[in-house]
């Protein structure tokens, strides 16, 4: 009570004017901070550099197609994206159609490098979402052919062959927001290829049982978006081309920009002294190709691999990239890609390269349902 007998109580502050209230509401809406890498234990440092441990550490999600629950690294997230020209939404894999942050950083450092390598590499953890607005129109044009495949050298809207700043500013919008609900499908060519025959809406190519959820049914706008959405009938080949292109660009980047990552096969040295993180096989050169080529016998290769004290991954680029893209890789640098077997040194950029190779290998590996 005051001296005059009146009450001294005050009304509480309005939540709209309370800074603590706004901070509490926005706390969980902000993007997560990057972990502090300056104070890591030896175990944390080893896990951070291990590609397989990082993949297993991703959140667990469920595949709507097979019903299996796996870390998100082994799944593809599909969301509906509106084509800015036609206004028709298309389901696209957001993880592999985003911009590659590693390549973007290199392009900013060296503008001359942009003209040499096609801008078709994409990253799973990229924040900026480009090159998707025109994918729907291209998919509509190719929907009549279920086995069509995007050719690397074809200047498609989502696969440009030139990457200068003027072309990029005209082709790619700053960002393409996703609409409606999304779902996760197994990161497997065999799984995506099965959607060709299991589609319940052949006219639109949308597998409704996979994308239609209860939340979409309860929302009139989401249901309207779903009814108008499209799905590429050749999604398995489309994803395969994107993944192969990412590996191709990563290998070219390792040979042109980062020296010393790709080394020739040397059977006289052990894997430990060479600091080998992986072995890649590219096979013999073209018959009409006249160059100094280093052939490797099976005995040399087996003796070389037996010297390793730990398991070293082997990637056969003849299967991963295919004949056409592998030949493009050999033509990009005749001096580097002249050995049937090459090795990848264990360095910083090697983790990024191994992740792309392992991801493509897993996509092409058949699974038992």
Instruction: Judge whether 6 lies within some domain.
Output: no
Average pLDDT, integer, range 230-249: 91
Query: Is the pLDDT higher at 115 or at 241?
Result: 241
Instruction: Judge whether 355 lies within some domain.
Output: no
In a shared domain, residues 64 and 206? yes
Convert the pLDDT of each residue in 295-318 to its tens digit. Answer: 676 777 777 777 766 788 889 999
Average pLDDT, integer, range 147-171: 34
Cα separation, 276 vs 262, in Å, equals 10
Taking a C-beta distance cutoff of 8 angstroms, is the pair 112, 288 a contact?
Answer: no
Q: How many domains does the chain have?
A: 2
In a shared domain, residues 144 and 223? yes
Place of tokens 């609900």: 181
Helix, strand or coil for residue 77? strand
In a shared domain, residues 206 and 156? yes
Q: Is the pLDDT of residue 358 over 70?
A: yes
Query: How high is the mean pLDDT of the chain?
Result: 72
Instruction: Judge whether 17 lies within some domain.
Output: no
- Cβ–Cβ contacts within 10 Å for residue 195, how many? 20
Query: Is the pLDDT higher at 352 or at 7?
Result: 352
In a shared domain, residues 224 and 304? no
For 151, phi then psi, to 5°, come to: -80, 140
In a shared domain, residues 275 and 233? no
Closest of 347, 336, 290, 342 to residue 318, by C-alpha? 342
**How deeply is 362 buried, as exposed, middle or buried, from its count of CB atoms within 10 A (0-12, 13-18, 19+)?**
middle
In a shared domain, residues 274 and 160? no
Average pLDDT, integer, range 77-88: 82
Q: Is the pLDDT of residue 357 over 90?
A: yes
Query: Model-level pTM?
Result: 0.68
The stretches of 64-134 forming alpha helices (DSSP H) are 101-109, 111-114
Q: Is the pLDDT of residue 26 over 80?
A: yes
Q: How confident is the model at residue 364 (pLDDT cuts 50, 70, 90)?
A: very high
In a shared domain, residues 128 and 277? no
In a shared domain, residues 194 and 295? no
In a shared domain, residues 292 and 204? no
Instruction: Judge whether 42 lies within some domain.
Output: no
Query: Is the pLDDT higher at 22 or at 162?
Result: 22
Structural domain of 130? 51-239
Q: What is the dihedral of CA 360, 362, 367, 369, to 10 degrees?
A: -100
Instruction: Judge whether 123 lies within some domain.
Output: yes
Q: Is the pLDDT of residue 122 over 50?
A: no
Instruction: Judge whether 358 lies within some domain.
Output: no
Question: Bridge partners of 182?
Answer: 79
Q: How confident is the model at residue 284 (pLDDT cuts 50, 70, 90)?
A: confident
Taking a C-beta distance cutoff of 8 angstroms, is the pair 81, 89 a contact?
Answer: yes
Instruction: Judge whether 73 lies within some domain.
Output: yes
> 259-282 burial by CB neighbour count: b if 16+ within 10 A, else e?
eebbbebeeeeebeebebbbbbbb
């Amino acid at each position: 009570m005051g001296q005059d007998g009146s009450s001294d109580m005050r009304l509480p502050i309005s939540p709209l004017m309370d800074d603590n209230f706004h901070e509490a509401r926005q706390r969980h809406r902000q993007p997560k901070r990057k972990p502090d890498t300056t104070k890591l234990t030896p175990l944390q440092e080893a896990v951070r550099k291990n590609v397989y441990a990082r993949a297993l550490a991703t959140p667990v999600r469920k595949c709507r197609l097979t019903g299996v629950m796996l870390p998100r690294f082994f799944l593809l997230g599909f969301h509906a994206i509106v084509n800015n020209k036609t206004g028709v939404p298309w389901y696209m894999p957001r993880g592999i159609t985003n911009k590659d942050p590693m390549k973007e950083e290199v392009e900013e450092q060296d503008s001359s490098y942009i003209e040499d390598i096609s801008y078709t590499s994409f990253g799973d953890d990229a924040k900026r979402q480009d090159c998707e607005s025109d994918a729907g129109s291209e998919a509509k044009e190719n929907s009549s052919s279920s086995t069509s495949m995007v050719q690397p050298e074809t200047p498609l809207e989502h696969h440009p062959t030139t990457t200068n700043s003027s072309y990029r500013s005209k082709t790619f919008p700053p960002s393409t927001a996703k609409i409606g609900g999304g779902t996760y499908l197994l990161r497997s060519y065999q799984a995506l290829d099965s959607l060709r025959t299991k589609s319940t809406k052949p006219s639109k190519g949308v597998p409704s049982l996979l994308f239609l959820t209860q939340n979409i049914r309860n929302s009139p706008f989401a249901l309207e978006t779903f009814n108008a959405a499209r799905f590429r009938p050749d999604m398995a080949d489309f994803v395969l081309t994107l993944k192969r292109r990412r590996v191709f660009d990563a290998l070219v980047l390792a040979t042109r920009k980062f020296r010393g990552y790709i080394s020739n096969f040397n059977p006289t040295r052990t894997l430990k002294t060479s600091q080998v993180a992986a072995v890649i096989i590219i096979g013999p050169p073209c018959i009409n190709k006249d160059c100094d080529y280093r052939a490797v016998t099976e005995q040399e290769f087996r003796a070389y691999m037996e010297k390793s004290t730990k398991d070293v991954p082997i990637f056969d680029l003849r299967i991963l990239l295919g004949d056409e893209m592998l030949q493009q890789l050999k033509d990009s640098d005749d001096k580097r890609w002249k050995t049937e077997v090459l090795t990848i040194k264990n360095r910083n950029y090697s983790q990024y390269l191994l992740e792309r190779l392992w991801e493509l290998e897993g996509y092409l590996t058949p699974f038992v349902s």
